[in-house]
Amino acid sequence: MKIKNLYKEKPNTEFEKNQMHKENGEVSTVETELLVEHYTTLYINDIEVATLVCTGTSIVELAVGRIISEGILTDVNLIDNIYICEYASRARVYLKEGIEFINHLNKSTDVASCCQDNKSYFKSNILPEKLKNTLTLKDEDVFALATAFATDSKIHKMTSGTHAAYLYKDGKIITSFEDIGRHNAMDKVIGYMYLNNIKPEECIVFTTGRVPVDMVRKAIYGRIGALVSKAVPTVDAVALAKEYNLNLICRAWQDSFQIFNKSV
């Protein structure tokens, strides 16, 4: 796979002046660090697939992760090359000669369950295979991930405006990503796994966001061994995790967590 990335990443935040009003009547001018929204349109073989509102970093990982987590592709080896324009407003993915990608997709105008304007124009109509999950979950691994978020989510500490996703394998954190949307952060982790030939079934992914069905579906398409969140799942998300044999742990804090599905 060839990657041509012309984009030079810019700061994710800017300072904005505003007025602080206090209960005692005191008014002062302050500067607040805010996130900058970035827009990327994803194409496969020059066909528009999705519009993503994201944090303008790790666009290659985001593009690959989105393709995998939506079931559009299951094998990154089918990708011939990736091109990111100088403004990262377009991420173009080209498949190897003779490979079609829309024969198993339906038209869609789905918007992910988040407070941003992500849109998918195609949706896979092929259900993922049930996970053959052999990952052994240890309490100390879950607590390590919860602690990592509490102590190391840099952009969130500055802005209180990001979600994060952590990739954990063999007792250590491999990498982490922050983004304005929890779906994007998870896509970046999934993209990183596949770009670096890391076996997803051996990994735990920690997300800071809620876990509705679409987040569980991403984990299943991504073939992840376990999904852990500091937030809560929905009834439907738990049912889907059980159906597809996904380890699902939520409300994972530094002193406790809850297992909603354990495969082994």
CATH number of the domain at 193, please: 3.40.140.10
| Predicted confidence pLDDT, tens digits, the chain (264 residues) | 999 999 999 889 999 999 999 999 999 999 999 999 999 999 999 999 999 999 999 999 999 999 999 988 888 999 999 999 999 999 999 999 888 776 667 776 555 545 456 777 666 777 788 898 889 889 999 999 999 888 776 776 677 768 899 999 999 999 999 999 999 999 999 999 999 999 999 999 999 999 999 999 999 999 999 999 999 999 999 999 999 999 999 999 999 999 999 987
Q: Is residue 87 part of a domain?
A: no
* Total number of domains in the chain: 1
Q: Give the three-class secondary structure for 41.
A: strand
pTM of the model as a whole: 0.90
Report how far residue 261's alpha carbon sits from residue 135's, in angstroms, rounded to the nearest whole number. Answer: 13
In a domain, 66, yes or no: no
- Tell whether 227 is covered by a domain: yes
Provide the residue count of the chain: 264
Domain that holds residue 173: 139-261
- The answer to whether position 11 is within a domain reads no
The answer to the question of residue 215 being in a domain is yes
Structural domain includes residue 205: yes
In a domain, residue 254? The reply is: yes
> What is the C-alpha separation between 71 and 186, in angstroms, rounded?
14
- Whether residue 238 is contained in a domain is answered as yes
